[in-house]
A and B are shown apart, each in its own frame.
Chain A
Amino acid sequence: AQSVTQLDSHVSVSEGTPVLLRCNYSSSYSPSLFWYVQHPNKGLQLLLKYTSAATLVKGINGFEAEFKKSETSFHLTKPSAHMSDAAEYFCVVSDRNSNYQLIWGAGTKLIIKP
């Protein structure tokens, strides 16, 4: 069965410092992996996705994530945090075995300190 674990419920960083949001997954088949961002009272926005191509995936707003099969991880990073990055981030997995239903992590709230 698929599952997603976001290891931190909250991450707090200072503006201008690196961001690391951790995600581990389990999947029986070759998974597709996604990171979504949700700003307060806003809809979900896809940051990036991995679908069996390059393991280092670049997304919008300077975010990127690396698919590491041996570690079953898909951590999200950004070199320098901006105040506008403050939001809730969700790691998501799906595979064809589950008819592409999305399995959601619990979310990580990113707090940016001035």
Chain B
Amino acid sequence: GAVVSQHPSWVICKSGTSVKIECRSLDFQATTMFWYRQFPKQSLMLMATSNEGSKATYEQGVEKDKFLINHASLTLSTLTVTSAHPEDSSFYICSAFLAGVSNEQFFGPGTRLTVL
């Protein structure tokens, strides 16, 4: 099956610093990738839709200047949390959309961000 990786799997940073999370589709090309956020014991919340070669589309309430998304190639999307604060601590999950017969999203393993 299609495989999506995320790096790093966990990160701890100081308040005020920026953190970059990478999402890669390893064996397929994805023109569309999605970024989700999951708070403890809650469901996934879609943050933004990332399209290769164009600007990301952010969901209502998600600050685009806070969460910078770059989809520079068909296999890589990055999420940068700028000037992170403790309230940004969360589990961030990406998915890559495989168009075709299945039209299915494949998920990365997630990145646990802790901001001190």
Contacts and interface: CB of A to CB of B under 8 A. Distances in A.
Interface string B46-87: 100100000000000000000000000000000000000000
Contacts, number: 42
A17 interface: no
Contacts of B32: 99
Interface string B86-116: 0000000101010000111101111010000
A85 B105 CA distance: 23
B107 A106 contact: no
Interface of B: 32, 34, 42-44, 46, 49, 93, 95, 97, 102-105, 107-110, 112
Contacts of A56: none
Interface size class on chain A is: 10 to 19
Q: Binding site of A, secondary structure by majority: helix, strand, loop or mixed? A: loop
Nearest to A49: B104
Given A44-B110, A107-B43, 13 more contacts: A32-B104, A43-B93, A44-B93, A51-B103, A90-B44, A96-B103, A99-B49, A100-B103, A101-B34, A101-B46, A102-B34, A102-B44, A104-B43
A100 B43 contact: no
Nearest to B91: A41
A32 B93 contact: no
A49 B46 CA distance: 20
A102 B105 contact: yes
